[in-house]
Chains A and B, each alone.
Chain A
Amino acid sequence: SQKIEQNSEALNIQEGKTATLTCNYTNYSPAYLQWYRQDPGRGPVFLLLIRENEKEKRKERLKVTFDTTLKQSLFHITASQPADSATYLCALGSGGYQKVTFGIGTKLQVIP
């Protein structure tokens, strides 16, 4: 069956360091992959999309990679700040542009 894996354990890093979050998937051939940020008590907020034919995409301090051979996406936040503390969800899209499946998310805590 299709499976999306994100590290369920919280990731704690020091302010200024680069945070790297992982999204692995099995039995899935996504056309694209999205990353969302979710703060407590709020709905997810879209950050980035990367397509299956793209290796890397950047937006300000964010960088996403997509390796369809390894079936993995890495999400990097450089020069992390305490304001980056949140849960980050990956979502895989296929079967039409609007159909996505979310992972469980990884909680990031940036320590001042």
Chain B
Amino acid sequence: EAGVVQSPRYKIIEKKQPVAFWCNPISGHNTLYWYLQNLGQGPELLIRYENEEAVDDSQLPKDRFSAERLKGVDSTLKIQPAELGDSAVYLCASSSRTSGDYEQYFGPGTRLTVT
């Protein structure tokens, strides 16, 4: 079974430029998450999807961040314009309602550097 796929793995951009990250979750997983992880910190939730619906986006900075999950499968996270403080690892995860342990499966992340 293929895991969660994210691309790109690394991205370097100048501040004020736009950037987009892509995530393909595990097949059949209806729940998809985007997290931000700073060095030495735990993942912080940005947005959670149930199928196509964003059910928790309270931590998403909506002035510059946007996300979509078309057809309830793949998802993209966009930042426009990027700021220096956005440098971090962006993790995508997915989970299934049928899992009794509620485990989340994470992708390898996209490391963003804003210069």
A residues touching B (Cβ–Cβ < 8 Å)?
4, 8, 32, 34, 41-46, 48-49, 89, 91, 93, 97-105
Contacts and interface: CB of A to CB of B under 8 A. Distances in A.
A43 B106 contact: yes
Contacts, number: 58
Contacts of B42: 4, 89, 91, 102-105
A49 B56 CA distance: 22
B3 to A, nearest CB: 9
Interface in B84-109: 91, 93, 95, 97, 101-109
Interface residues of B, number: 25
B93 A43 contact: yes
Interface of B: 4, 31, 33, 40-45, 48, 50, 56, 91, 93, 95, 97, 101-109
A49 B91 contact: no
Nearest to B30: A98
B105 A46 contact: yes
B41 A49 contact: no
Nearest to A32: B102
A61 B27 CA distance: 30
Given A41-B108, A43-B93, A43-B107, A102 B101 contact: no
